[in-house]
Structure 1
């Protein structure tokens, strides 16, 4: 039996209301105790002057791609997640999966991955699998039945819920959404959605998600609320979410601390009329890859890429800082990176979301340390009913991060989104060191998280 003692750190566990200088004792892969004693241990980690808290849980991720051949998970975003203190990712968001989600979980268990991964079954993936790739057209009842049966299989295999990306698939009907969402009722599963519209259309879109939660009897997650409503709508939008909750709809939200979003040029986000909707110019868009990599968009570039290279990644600098702040300090909102990895140019959120939240929100006191850690850990664990994660209760998984509150900084940029942060010093997954002094030392400790 291996015993590890993390000694002398400021232990922060929002679940138990702990915020004090103490020691954390781990036995094998489980939390043994938060203790003021100094019991004997096989390994002692000095955390003096550091914060010791449960490993961060990224409520909104997009899983790594597969290696050529499709039989192994490619390690990219999950390594970046580990470097910023994440120990569990929630993947399969916005309706997308890179392969059958049950197979992805099986590969994670077989090979080990950089961080633990929970998986949502994606509606768009199911729709495409059943031969209906026209995102603007509704599908028939027979297709919906086929999707429903396939989705049920994935949920039975341990997926934690269903995700939708209806903004990207406007042909999605209410019956499609309801048929999949109701599979999550009564089984502690969740429905997460990139809602149907942003900017001023976000209010009607939020109403639709609330109605889905009410009619299907499921908990619903408003995905990346910042990129949907940080254009002057956030104050009212959060008030509406609170009203839904008062009416009995269990809705919560996630957000990342940046004022730019990332998506493909061919996405419905950039359908004609988007400049007026966002009150923006073509030059507010950065081309991330392809033949125009590194250039600001023009009308000619837009027309060329929409026609000939719609999968080209972009970054849109459209969101308002004060709206992002309103979201991130709200008790309704937890942290989710919406991480998507691209080589070279790309959004820094996959490498810097949690460090940026620490440096820009916790350190200056916009949120307290206890509440900030709650947003990065306990809120997501409670939301997903993962009672053995996001806390230091005896018997819980020993997923731990040790960070320096004064030195934690997001170093990633839009020019290089892969630069790791500073200040994240130690990460343990299942009681074993995955990151030591900011260096990855074990990329095989993560496993599938199933419910």
Structure 2
């Protein structure tokens, strides 16, 4: 009897353990679980089932696939809203650095519906999303000779930029739109929004001479009709001299966002005037507006060599910089002289160069401490020395680009540790605040990410808070080195980085709005404008006032 009872107990224990193991697809044991939304911070075990967090407990749980997270933080996966790493190689570098969601909200893409379809067909290692690109829409209208039949995003945008310059004039950059042209541009953007675009990417800094204030307003209104964001690289970015101070450019788009009650993401708020910009954004948020800014922890950026703000009239005459001290070619690891710069603008207008901005170095420590100022890497495409995209299996030492693609988030953690910033605050900058603001636009996929909570999507980054360190540098051969201290990255419940090795799996999911049956495009029309914003004056016979509202009785007296 006693023997039978013992056998029964052993069988029951074994069976219950088998059932428990079958309850989860993945178990993470003994990690420091940190959730920025609830402020939970404790050693616990995490069970993952069907791509979601099924349990967070101090009780013992088992599973066939187990990660020992002793000494590691179990954090929400890093969410990147400024992600030009739209090729497989660059994405591989980013996920090794802890990124679980990469969305290009600044530059965006063309043909958004087709863009999502292609990405789903290819499969992707991280979650993906895009805005509708105002720049590419302007090319369609102002440079009709450029072949835009293919989907255009950061992976092939350099070629399109170069093609637009072939006739000697980049129309998209310098041409002011007529009302008819503006309506064409807005119709393109509206169709992308109908197809589920996260918002509109407005890179005004690249077409500051072409875009009028009203066209900028119209683009934000087009996004606002859907309740979606405008992600804006403002027209006077970097400039410190009046009357075209960088901060005035924020005033332009912030005023639009407030009168439209539309979301706004300020791209590149890590240059001159950031302190004024962040003050205004905080004051606006206190009044209920969904507006926020982003930075990355580097003193240099990377952009097309033909960018409007790199012209001598701006770079030298207004900003006071010298090309041989600030414009760096990642392919040759050399700074360019002014003559070399101007020659390359003519020969390779779409070529990427590293742009050093010295004042950033002293500002960086403050960015780490600003509430709801988020980290966004501005990750660049995975180009080699020749400016062409590298294949997925290329060695990271062949990458010729900016180190932020591989190490942005590790560097933020490293700097935060050195400066004594609370780790929970840093995690909010790396993940939660982006998810919160995007979720507040109605983007359901973001309401389920950026948190470590039962029921939420299991996008998780595991790192060692004591040793995490950026290794990528500006020197060729080191541009893409992976960080130290991020051994595991999990996307939708699937391990993508295992003990530091990126696995050939593609669990990424689309981050988008549902496709709508009808668009919301409303063309700008002079007569309709009169009807909406003026009163009917009968004596003005030369005007067609058929759309104007009738005078109220009190107005007739």
Give the TM-score taking structure 2 as reference length: 0.74
- Counterpart CA distance in 2 for 1:102 and 1:438 is 34
Is the CA contact (8 Å cut-off) linking 1:11 and 1:18 kept in structure 2?
Answer: yes
Q: Which residue in 2 is equivalent to 1:28?
A: 50
Say yes or no: does 1:119 pair with 2:130.
yes
Is the CA contact (8 Å cut-off) linking 1:108 and 1:447 kept in structure 2?
Answer: no
- Counterpart CA distance in 1 for 2:460 and 2:466 is 19
Say yes or no: does 1:239 pair with 2:274.
no
Say yes or no: does 1:110 pair with 2:148.
no
| RMSD between aligned residues | 1.9
Aligned counterpart for 1:317 among listed residues 352, 356, 378: 356
Is the CA contact (8 Å cut-off) linking 1:285 and 1:314 kept in structure 2?
Answer: no
- Counterpart CA distance in 1 for 2:368 and 2:267 is 13
- What pairs with 1:245-260 in structure 2 (closer than 5 Å)? 245-246=285-286, 249-260=289-300
- Counterpart CA distance in 1 for 2:375 and 2:85 is 17
Query: Which of 12-21 and 316-325 deviates more?
Result: 316-325
- What pairs with 1:325-404 in structure 2 (closer than 5 Å)? 325-341=365-381, 342-343=383-384, 344-361=399-416, 363-385=417-439, 386-404=446-464
Q: Which residue in 2 is equivalent to 1:71?
A: none
Question: What does the per-residue CA deviation read over 1:205-264, in whole Å, with 9 as the maximum and x for residues that have no partner?
Answer: 1101111202322111110211x32xxx33333223334445554321010000011112
Q: Which residue in 1 is equivalent to 2:246?
A: 202
- What pairs with 1:44-55 in structure 2 (closer than 5 Å)? 44-55=66-77
Q: Which residue in 1 is equivalent to 2:203?
A: 165
Query: Which of 47-56 and 30-39 deviates more?
Result: 30-39
Q: Which residue in 1 is equivalent to 2:268?
A: 224
Aligned counterpart for 1:56 among listed residues 78, 95, 115: 78
- Counterpart CA distance in 1 for 2:58 and 2:89 is 39
Say yes or no: does 1:78 pair with 2:85.
no
Is the CA contact (8 Å cut-off) linking 1:167 and 1:194 kept in structure 2?
Answer: yes
Q: Which residue in 2 is equivalent to 1:212?
A: 256
Q: Report the CA distance between 1:127 and its aligned residue.
A: 1.2
Gaps of 5+ in 2: 1-22, 144-169, 385-398, 440-445, 514-557
Q: Report the CA distance between 1:324 and its aligned residue.
A: 2.4
- Counterpart CA distance in 1 for 2:427 and 2:288 is 27
- Counterpart CA distance in 2 for 1:43 and 1:104 is 34
- Counterpart CA distance in 2 for 1:63 and 1:204 is 30
Change over 3 Å in CA distance of 1:319–1:237 after alignment to 2: farther
Q: Report the CA distance between 1:78 and its aligned residue.
A: 1.1
Say yes or no: does 1:437 pair with 2:499.
yes
Report the 3-state secondary structure (helix = DSSP H, G, I; strand = E; otherwise coil) of the residue aligned with 1:103.
helix
Give the TM-score taking structure 1 as reference length: 0.91
Q: Which residue in 2 is equivalent to 1:277?
A: 318
Is the CA contact (8 Å cut-off) linking 1:294 and 1:345 kept in structure 2?
Answer: no
Is the CA contact (8 Å cut-off) linking 2:33 and 2:452 kept in structure 1?
Answer: no
Is the CA contact (8 Å cut-off) linking 1:255 and 1:328 kept in structure 2?
Answer: no
Say yes or no: does 1:448 pair with 2:448.
no
Change over 3 Å in CA distance of 1:448–1:413 after alignment to 2: same
Q: Which residue in 2 is equivalent to 1:268?
A: 308
Q: Which residue in 2 is equivalent to 1:410?
A: 470
Question: What does the per-residue CA deviation read over 1:347-375, in whole Å, with 9 as the maximum and x for residues that have no partner?
Answer: 111111000001111x2244211111111
- Counterpart CA distance in 1 for 2:72 and 2:197 is 35
- Counterpart CA distance in 2 for 1:380 and 1:258 is 20
Report the 3-state secondary structure (helix = DSSP H, G, I; strand = E; otherwise coil) of the residue aligned with 2:88.
coil
Is the CA contact (8 Å cut-off) linking 2:220 and 2:256 kept in structure 1?
Answer: yes
Change over 3 Å in CA distance of 1:63–1:345 after alignment to 2: closer
Question: What does the per-residue CA deviation read over 1:273-312, in whole Å, with 9 as the maximum and x for residues that have no partner?
Answer: 312433322222344267xx33211122122123333223
Q: Which residue in 1 is equivalent to 2:553?
A: none
Report the 3-state secondary structure (helix = DSSP H, G, I; strand = E; otherwise coil) of the residue aligned with 1:239.
helix
Is the CA contact (8 Å cut-off) linking 2:128 and 2:509 kept in structure 1?
Answer: yes
Query: Which of 334-343 and 297-306 deviates more?
Result: 297-306
Q: Report the CA distance between 1:400 and its aligned residue.
A: 0.8
Is the CA contact (8 Å cut-off) linking 2:290 and 2:437 kept in structure 1?
Answer: no
Report the 3-state secondary structure (helix = DSSP H, G, I; strand = E; otherwise coil) of the residue aligned with 2:29.
strand
Q: Which residue in 2 is equivalent to 1:69?
A: none
- Counterpart CA distance in 2 for 1:120 and 1:332 is 21
Q: Mark the structure with the bigger radius of gyration.
A: 2
Question: What does the per-residue CA deviation read over 1:80-116, in whole Å, with 9 as the maximum and x for residues that have no partner?
Answer: 110001000121423x42x422222112222211211
Change over 3 Å in CA distance of 1:100–1:288 after alignment to 2: farther
Q: Report the CA distance between 1:203 and its aligned residue.
A: 1.2
Say yes or no: does 1:153 pair with 2:191.
yes
Change over 3 Å in CA distance of 1:250–1:430 after alignment to 2: closer
